[in-house]
């Protein structure tokens, strides 16, 4: 695997930042990193001391049944307690936990005490509906405070939340609900996006129509100002505000076992079926707490803002659990970055005096395209630290972020991690690591990365591996332990974790992420398995076969190009193209739409019938084709190239 980036400029943090940072300078980072690898159990035991435990652990790490590792076994704790009660006991009750802003400009402010109260009430309402520890609950909400409240209320009583990003379709809801046998769905009548109201309840109704396991649907009213048609089904549906109206404010947090399931979050893999990634209580708690503290260098007077949606792992760890455990104030925003205009984010930073800003490279590229005029004139002097997540950031976007937003003063933490890892794995330490544009740099404490060949030899550029277990690691794939082992632990004989990314190590011992090595594509920071689209296309009566590939995209990072062969004699025209796009919208969600769909009479295959994706990628990128001699029918390629140029 070859890296395309030769960016080698170093950007050290300012001396002011270094002086005040939790981790000051590379020597401090290195000493602590070495300690964390030499004595991981000692390191993770010490890290856990800041948090509340109803009962301490018997062992920090139990590796006796690897890869089913156990962390803090024997302990009892509760994430909602550590996010709320612990901070209130420490005197932070009247501190703002969340400054919320809706897309139309409506606002709400919740102190730690108020958030605690809302969480306790909703937790009591859930209990009153019969919800019990271990029950699975799907949450399909816009970015409103009730999303964080619902997540924390589940954690408080030990119910397992499965948040579904509100851009997913009805079919996606159905698949996730059935896979985890969800008994309850928490949703809203709607949510704002680019000035429009998304009618979420209708999507839920369609999604759960055939799910007998769903007994309860709780609906948050978002559409006061903009009433939404929201039919309620008798005996199944209830309004959130009615349920919380007459319940007690007092709800004791359930004492959870260390390995009790905290949440499921579905993510794409290389098959057509998304995986329910399992995260459990104690290890995730400590890992989300510690990575937040050090990577964002969190201090008592910070105002933090992460622009991700709680529907993705970034929002779970770095809006809800990690950030609230650290007792800081954060901003939560419901809508689009360009509503009512392209200056919305900078207006929010100015208004709330945001000091730490965490966003995705795709957003940065969009801002660059919209032009500097939206930024200039805004007072962004409150910012002291910037972050990126979700996909590789191209050096050009990094430099723009550094100059235009960070005023060449704010360190940028380019954080590499995954749904499965629970939290940051490779990242600069803001008060220590001299950064390089586009580089995730060095491992977090306790994380031991390696770059390997398929057969486990250490190389400079190859496949990323993680050699040691860490507390935030996934504990399984819901209902499918074999798939968990096969996907993540088989590559190097069960010894190391296989994340599915390629990487390169440079002369500073920094690690560069080179993108996925499997058939997973990263579109605007959203993981999409090409097999998911392919299995949707072949459901169409006129489609014989399809192959989907990822290609570079100026704003989204990667875009999807679909190659579709139709059954002989059937028409392939714009009408079919529209039907196929409508199928993707319905089965996955609009965010998974391909950029282009190309039709052909066949796909390039080897003589043994395997589709040659490398050639499809070359065609889709308009490149010179590599070796085509192994193709069964080289004529197919010419036809596709012609199509590509024409369309
Ligand atoms: O390919 C890597 C890419 O996103 C994948 C994980 O996607 P997901 O589970 O949806 O989580 C995204 C948010 C953590 C990884 O396998 N990725 C994530 N962060 C980076 C990245 N690629 C390069 N640089 C990053 N900072």
Percent of the chain at pLDDT > 90 equals: 88
Q: What is the DSSP letter of 623?
A: P
Summarised one tens digit per residue, pLDDT across range 433-470 is 999 999 999 999 999 999 999 999 999 999 999 999 99
* Residue 252: other Cβ atoms inside 10 A: 12
Whether the CB of 502 sits within 6 Å of ligand 1: no
Q: Is 19 contained in some domain? A: yes
Q: Are 207 and 220 in contact (CB under 8 A)?
A: no
Q: Is 219 contained in some domain? A: no
User: Is pLDDT of 83 > 50?
Assistant: yes
Closest CA to 183 of 156, 206, 160: 160
Assess whether 465 and 540 both reside in one domain: no
Residue 1 pLDDT level (bands cut at 50, 70, 90): very low
Q: Work out which ligand 1 atom sits closest to the CA atom of 440.
A: 26
The Cα 394–Cα 389 span in angstroms is 12
Closest CA to 363 of 402, 341, 389: 389
Residue 85 CA, ligand 1 centroid: distance in Å: 32
Q: Would you state the pLDDT for residue 496? A: 97
Q: In what order do the strands lie in the sheet with 261-267?
A: 237-239, 216-220, 184-188, 136-140, 160-163, 261-267, 275-280, 476-477
Q: List the residue whose alpha carbon is closest to atom 5 of ligand 1.
A: 418
Assess whether 444 and 401 both reside in one domain: yes
How big is the chain, counted in residues?
647
User: Is pLDDT of 13 > 80?
Assistant: yes
Assess whether 479 and 531 both reside in one domain: no
Q: Would you state the pLDDT for residue 2? A: 43
Tell me the best of 522, 530, 556 to mutate to test the pocket of ligand 1, counting ligand atoms within 8 Å of each CB and taking the most.
522
Q: Is 322 contained in some domain? A: yes
Angle between the 170-179 and 574-587 helix axes, to the nearest 10 degrees? 40
Q: Would you state the pLDDT for residue 625? A: 80
In b/e form, how buried is each residue of 195-214, taking b as 16+ CB within 10 angstroms?
Answer: eebbbbbbbbbebbeebeeb
Q: Would you state the pLDDT for residue 272? A: 84
Residue 266 CA, ligand 1 centroid: distance in Å: 15
Residue 447 CA, ligand 1 centroid: distance in Å: 16
Q: Is 576 contained in some domain? A: yes
Assess whether 362 and 487 both reside in one domain: yes
Q: Would you state the pLDDT for residue 638? A: 85
Pairs from 611-615 (Cβ < 8 Å, separation ≥ 24) = 611/547, 613/519, 613/547, 613/549
Q: List the residue whose alpha carbon is closest to atom 13 of ligand 1.
A: 390
Summarised one tens digit per residue, pLDDT across range 109-124 is 999 999 999 999 999 9
Whether the CB of 391 sits within 6 Å of ligand 1: yes
Whether the CB of 313 sits within 6 Å of ligand 1: yes
Sign of CA dihedral 249, 254, 258, 264: negative
Domain CATH number, residue 619: 3.30.300.30
Backbone angles phi, psi at 613, to 5 degrees: -65, -30
Q: Would you state the pLDDT for residue 3? A: 47
Q: Would you state the pLDDT for residue 572? A: 81
Mean pLDDT, all residues of the chain: 95
The Cα 491–Cα 510 span in angstroms is 24
Q: Would you state the pLDDT for residue 413? A: 98
Domain CATH number, residue 316: 3.40.50.12780
Whether the CB of 416 sits within 6 Å of ligand 1: yes
Residue 530 CA, ligand 1 centroid: distance in Å: 16
DSSP 265-316: EEE--SSSS-EEEEEEHHHHHHHHHHHHHHHTT--TT-EEEE-S-TTSHHHI
Residue 405 CA, ligand 1 centroid: distance in Å: 22
Q: Are 5 and 512 in contact (CB under 8 A)?
A: yes
Residue 295 CA, ligand 1 centroid: distance in Å: 16
Residue 328 CA, ligand 1 centroid: distance in Å: 25
Residue in the block written with tokens 């977090």: 444
The average pLDDT across 357-364 equals: 97
Assess whether 493 and 528 both reside in one domain: no
The Cα 605–Cα 200 span in angstroms is 42
The Cα 147–Cα 310 span in angstroms is 8
Whether the CB of 392 sits within 6 Å of ligand 1: yes
Q: Is 550 contained in some domain? A: yes
The average pLDDT across 83-106 equals: 98
Assess whether 350 and 379 both reside in one domain: yes
Assess whether 511 and 572 both reside in one domain: no
What is the β-pairing status of strands 557-566 and 543-553? antiparallel
User: Is pLDDT of 418 > 90?
Assistant: yes
Closest CA to 59 of 47, 68, 43, 71: 71
Q: Which domain range does residue 571 map to?
A: 524-646
The average pLDDT across 556-581 equals: 92
Q: Is 144 contained in some domain? A: no
Q: Would you state the pLDDT for residue 66? A: 96
The Cα 317–Cα 581 span in angstroms is 33
Assess whether 512 and 426 both reside in one domain: yes
The average pLDDT across 413-440 equals: 98
Q: List the residue whose alpha carbon is closest to atom 24 of ligand 1.
A: 392
DSSP 61-72: EE-TTTTS-EEE
Residue 5 pLDDT level (bands cut at 50, 70, 90): low
Assess whether 404 and 305 both reside in one domain: yes
Q: List the residue whose alpha carbon is closest to atom 21 of ligand 1.
A: 391
Q: List the residue whose alpha carbon is closest to atom 3 of ligand 1.
A: 391
Q: List the residue whose alpha carbon is closest to atom 6 of ligand 1.
A: 418
Q: Which run of H or E residues covers position 515?
A: strand 511-516
Whether the CB of 599 sits within 6 Å of ligand 1: no
What is the β-pairing status of strands 329-333 and 275-280? unpaired
Residue 416 CA, ligand 1 centroid: distance in Å: 6
Q: Are 270 and 477 in contact (CB under 8 A)?
A: no
* Residue 194: other Cβ atoms inside 10 A: 12
Whether the CB of 600 sits within 6 Å of ligand 1: no
Q: Are 302 and 355 in contact (CB under 8 A)?
A: yes
The average pLDDT across 527-548 equals: 94
DSSP 573-589: SHHHHHHHHHHHHHHT-
Summarised one tens digit per residue, pLDDT across range 319-353 is 999 999 999 999 999 999 999 999 999 999 999 99
Whether the CB of 267 sits within 6 Å of ligand 1: yes
* Domain end residue (candidates: 516, 547, 582): 516
Q: List the residue whose alpha carbon is closest to atom 2 of ligand 1.
A: 391
User: Is pLDDT of 4 > 90?
Assistant: no
Summarised one tens digit per residue, pLDDT across range 146-163 is 999 999 999 999 999 999
CA end-to-end span of the chain, whole Å?
31
Tally of domains within the chain: 2
Residue in the block written with tokens 């993510």: 267
Whether the CB of 427 sits within 6 Å of ligand 1: no
The Cα 392–Cα 394 span in angstroms is 6
- Name 635's Cβ contacts closer than 8 Å, sequence gap at least 6: none
The Cα 599–Cα 640 span in angstroms is 8
Residue 196 CA, ligand 1 centroid: distance in Å: 29
* Domain end residue (candidates: 516, 542, 557): 516
Sign of CA dihedral 621, 626, 630, 633: positive
Burial-class residue 610 by CB neighbours within 10 Å (0-12, 13-18, 19+).
exposed
Whether the CB of 358 sits within 6 Å of ligand 1: no
User: Is pLDDT of 406 > 50?
Assistant: yes
Residue 223 pLDDT level (bands cut at 50, 70, 90): confident
Q: Is 362 contained in some domain? A: yes
Residue 497 CA, ligand 1 centroid: distance in Å: 15
Assess whether 528 and 501 both reside in one domain: no
Q: Which run of H or E residues covers position 218?
A: strand 216-220
* Domain end residue (candidates: 516, 533, 553): 516
Q: Work out which ligand 1 atom sits closest to the CA atom of 414.
A: 26
The average pLDDT across 531-540 equals: 94
Q: List the residue whose alpha carbon is closest to atom 7 of ligand 1.
A: 418
Q: List the residue whose alpha carbon is closest to atom 15 of ligand 1.
A: 418
Assess whether 402 and 292 both reside in one domain: yes
Tell me the best of 308, 315, 360, 418 to mutate to test the pocket of ligand 1, counting ligand atoms within 8 Å of each CB and taking the most.
418
The Cα 280–Cα 110 span in angstroms is 27
Whether the CB of 390 sits within 6 Å of ligand 1: yes
Assess whether 291 and 420 both reside in one domain: yes
Q: Would you state the pLDDT for residue 627? A: 76
Whether the CB of 499 sits within 6 Å of ligand 1: yes
Q: Is 344 contained in some domain? A: yes
Q: Are 526 and 311 in contact (CB under 8 A)?
A: no
Sign of CA dihedral 497, 550, 457, 37: negative
């Amino acid at each position: 695997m070859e890296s395309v980036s030769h960016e080698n400029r170093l950007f050290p943090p300012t001396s002011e930042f270094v002086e005040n940072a939790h981790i000051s300078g590379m020597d401090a980072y290195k000493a602590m990193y070495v300690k964390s690898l030499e004595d991981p159990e000692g390191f993770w035991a010490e890290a856990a001391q800041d948090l509340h435990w109803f009962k301490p652990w018997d062992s920090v790490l139990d590796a006796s049944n690897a890869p089913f590792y156990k962390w803090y076994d024997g302990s009892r704790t509760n994430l909602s307690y550590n996010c709320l009660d612990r901070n209130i006991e420490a005197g932070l009750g009247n501190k703002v936990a969340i400054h919320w802003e809706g897309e139309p400009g409506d606002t709400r402010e919740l102190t730690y005490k108020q958030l605690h109260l809302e969480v306790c009430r909703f937790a009591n309402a859930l209990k009153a509906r019969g919800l019990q520890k271990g029950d699975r609950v799907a949450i399909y909400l816009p970015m409103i405070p009730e999303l964080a409240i619902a997540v924390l209320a589940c954690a408080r009583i030990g119910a397992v939340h499965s948040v579904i990003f509100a851009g997913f379709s009805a079919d996606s809801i159905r698949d996730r609900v059935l896979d985890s046998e969800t008994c309850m769905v928490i949703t809203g009548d709607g949510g704002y996006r680019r000035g429009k109201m998304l009618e979420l309840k209708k999507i839920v109704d369609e999604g759960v129509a055939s799910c007998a396991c769903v007994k309860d649907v709780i609906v948050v009213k978002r559409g006061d100002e903009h009433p939404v048609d929201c039919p309620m089904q008798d005996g199944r549906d209830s309004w959130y505000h009615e349920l919380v109206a007459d319940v007690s404010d007092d709800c004791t947090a359930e004492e959870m076992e260390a390995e009790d399931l905290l949440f499921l979050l579905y993510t794409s893999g290389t098959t057509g079926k998304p995986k329910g990634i399992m995260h459990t209580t104690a290890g995730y708690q400590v890992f989300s707490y510690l990575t937040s503290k050090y990577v964002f260098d969190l201090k008592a007077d910070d105002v933090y803002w992460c622009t991700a949606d709680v529907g993705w792992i970034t929002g779970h760890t770095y809006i809800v659990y990690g950030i609230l455990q650290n007792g800081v104030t954060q901003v939560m925003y419901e809508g689009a970055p360009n509503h009512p205009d392209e200056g919305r984010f900078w207006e929010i930073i100015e208004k709330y005096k945001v000091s730490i800003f965490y966003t995705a490279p795709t957003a940065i590229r969009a801002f660059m395209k919209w032009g500097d005029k939206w930024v200039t004139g805004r007072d962004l002097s409150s910012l002291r630290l910037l972050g990126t997540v979700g996909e590789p950031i191209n050096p050009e976007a990094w430099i723009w972020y550094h100059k235009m937003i960070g005023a060449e003063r704010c360190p940028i933490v380019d954080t590499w991690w995954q749904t499965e890892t629970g939290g940051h794995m490779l990242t600069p330490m803001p008060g220590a690591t001299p950064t390089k544009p586009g580089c995730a740099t060095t491992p977090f404490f306790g994380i031991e990365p390696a770059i390997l060949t398929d057969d486990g030899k250490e190389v400079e550029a190859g496949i990323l591996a993680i050699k040691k277990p860490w507390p935030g690691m996934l504990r399984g794939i819901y209902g499918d332990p074999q798939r968990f082992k096969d996907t993540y632990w088989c590559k190097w004989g069960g010894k190391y974790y296989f994340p599915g990314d390629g990487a390169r190590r440079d002369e500073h011992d920094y690690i560069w992420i080179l993108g996925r090595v499997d058939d997973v594509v990263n579109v605007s920071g959203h993981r999409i398995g090409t097999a998911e689209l392919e299995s949707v296309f072949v459901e169409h009566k006129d489609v014989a076969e399809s192959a989907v590939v990822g290609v570079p995209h100026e704003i989204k990072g990667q875009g999807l190009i679909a190659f579709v062969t139709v059954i002989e004699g059937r028409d392939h025209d714009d009408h079919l193209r529209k039907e196929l796009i409508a199928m993707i919208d319905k089965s996955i969600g609009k965010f998974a739409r391909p950029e282009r769909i190309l039709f052909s009479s066949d796909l390039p295959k080897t003589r043994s019938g395997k589709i040659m994706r490398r050639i499809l990628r070359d065609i889709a990128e308009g490149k010179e084709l590599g070796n085509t001699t192994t193709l069964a029918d080289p004529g197919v390629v010419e036809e596709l190239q012609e199509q590509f140029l024409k369309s």
